[in-house]
Chains A and B, each alone.
Chain A
Amino acid sequence: MPTFDPPIPLPILEQPMTRSTDGVTANGLHKSYGDVQALAGLDLAVPEGTVLGLLGPNGAGKTTAVSILSTLLRADAGTATVAGFDVGTEPVQVRKHIGLSGQFAAVDEYLTGFENLEMVGRLYHLGKKVARSRARELLERFSLVDAGDRQVSTYSGGMRRRLDLAAALVAEPSVIFLDEPTTGLDPRSRNELWEVIEELVTKGSTVLLTTQYMEEAERLADDIIVIDHGREIAHGTADELKQIVGGDRIEVVVRNFTDVDAVKAILRRAAVGDDIRSEARRVAAPVTGGAETLARVLQELAAAEIDVLDIGLRRPTLDDVFLTLTGSTTVGISTPAELEVAS
């Protein structure tokens, strides 16, 4: 982590000539609420047609970042552009080019789904006719046709989120902000929403997605920034981030504590490097060779007559990355101190 924070301009590569079609850029965003620092110098870039996942725990500053970029809040320091316009000085221009869908579905529960979308269309100044046809089109696309004439207060959580997302898309914005779009949804609704977002993504929308779910970032984002306490702690593609944690691991859980040392010895022979970790009756070691190595370890464990409760080959997930980077402990992962070097 850099110990200094100089106002260095972005490298030329990240500031393409076609600024008017650029997606989102942010430089050194700071925001505090009283004594609480929500953003402590966040930089990010979402090139046009790509999806950036902003991954972080609750209170990491994700919503604050989205609120600044969507002109709801003003940054204390730093600059940001959306679709080529400055969010601080050209908020109206920015608003014309964005669609915002938040974690608290911002739809009117007293109106029907259709009325909500029509109202948003009118407020984008699409004109009555266009607003109406657009509303019908979106209801169809989001599988809300049957519910379109019902009051939103009768909708399920998943339906509200879909309607909220539809509202963000009414004016076909060039940049879409999705602030924790699936937080609090059941797995089925989450999957439905992911399918809709994937469709957007394949159509080439520029999307800034915040999430606390690794699976979501992995599935939807081209590029991921992990943030905590208002600053970036890691940046890369899902694969690159997994490299931080390392490759495959074998994990063995034994019935008897007395076997732990024997298992460590067996795993040490199979492991690459000597990062053998144990926690209670679980032992983990980094390996290469996948299933072959696993079979060999199994044979040795059987030969040593060790009572194995569970054994498996674990591939690192973004969860591991996340937990590692944000300092929570899990067996078989590097300590944050080691990762400072890696990141």
Chain B
Amino acid sequence: MNALLLTLGDGATIARRNVRKVTRVPEILVSVIVSPLIMLVLFAYVFGGSIEIEGGSYREYLVGGVFAMNLVFASVFTGAGLAEDIQKGIMDRFRSLPMSQSAVVFGRTASDVIYNVLSLAIMSVAGLLIGWRINGSVFEAITAFALLLLFAYAISWVMAYIGLLVPSPEVINQAGMMVIFPMTFVADTFAPVENFPGPLRTFAEWNPVSSVTRAARELFGNLPAGSPEPGPWSLRHPILYTLLWVAIIIGVFAPLAVRRFSRRP
């Protein structure tokens, strides 16, 4: 069997195992479903009254940001899942098998795409209920969902690498949050970046979470008509800028994670 087919086959076996786990541990499902809903409702009704979007509705504006934020948060699962598997010893089993070693990490990031599809679907339905609308074409909407999932996939490789470095799943939850909070909040997810103070504004403008959010809003047609063209290149070409980040992140972190997993200390 050639190496690629071997990796795909083993990766599918690992991914199937990870998906089974989701169906057996109700807590995971609850957090995948409930926490996005809470975020959506919370932001829509708590901040919705105080944040003004010129010429548009905050709820329409908000949903793209909630999508991006939740997908980044969910990437912690990837790292925590790997860390848990190491802690419980199942990784030693995998490492003693004549399987493709990279399949363990590829299988994990692949199965996490499935959570993300599920979580996007639930958020979309909830978004429609609170007044979000897809105003663009079907093709644009599909592109938006695909870009969000691709971005989430890239971030989950970062978390995969961290998950293989840390000693326990608890650590990744904390370490992950330290990165994820600033990344998702210092962005145009919930409030327009124009109102941010100096350095925070620059960070937010070049933050890929901002560009993926902006891209989603553009593609869904959620930006108010006549809203001004943004200054930075990253936000004028959000799709391209996001894709660049995706390529860089996967290009760096996938080899790092695979090497970390297959190394023999």
Contact = CB atoms under 8 A, between A and B. Distances in A.
A104 B95 CA distance: 15
Contact of A106 (B9, B21, B90): B90
Interface string B1-34: 1000010011001001100110011000000000
Contacts of A102: 89, 92
A72 to B, nearest CB: 5
Interface of A is mostly: loop
A106 B20 CA distance: 17
B94 interface: yes
Please classify how large the interface on chain A is, using the bins under 10, 10 to 19, 20 to 34, 35 or more. 20 to 34
B13 A110 contact: no
A110 B92 contact: no
A109 B88 contact: yes
Interface centre among A104, A119, A123, A167 (most CB of B within 10 A): A123
A105 B264 contact: no
Nearest to B95: A72
A95 B24 contact: no
B97 A120 contact: yes
A95 B98 CA distance: 5
Given A73-B265, A122-B13, A125-B1, A110 B96 contact: no
Contacts of A109: 88
A70 B96 contact: yes
A104 B89 contact: yes
Given A110-B21, A110-B24, A111-B17, A95 B265 contact: no
Given A72-B264, A73-B264, A95-B98, A107 B13 contact: no
A151 B26 CA distance: 14
Contact of B264 (A71, A108, A115, A125): A71
Interface in A67-97: 70-74, 91-92, 95-96
A208 interface: no
Interface string B66-96: 0000000000000000000000111011111
A106 B13 contact: no
A74 B265 CA distance: 6
Contacts of B17: 108, 111, 115, 119
A72 B97 CA distance: 10
A70 B95 CA distance: 9
Contacts of B94: 123
Given A119-B13, A120-B97, A123-B10, 11 more contacts: A70-B96, A72-B96, A74-B265, A92-B98, A95-B98, A98-B96, A102-B92, A109-B88, A110-B20, A120-B93, A122-B13
28 contacts: A70-B96, A71-B96, A71-B264, A72-B92, A72-B96, A72-B264, A73-B265, A91-B264, A95-B97, A100-B92, A105-B89, A106-B88, A106-B89, A106-B90, A106-B93, A107-B90, A108-B17, A108-B21, A111-B17, A111-B20, A111-B24, A119-B13, A122-B9, A123-B13, A124-B98, A125-B1, A125-B6, A125-B99
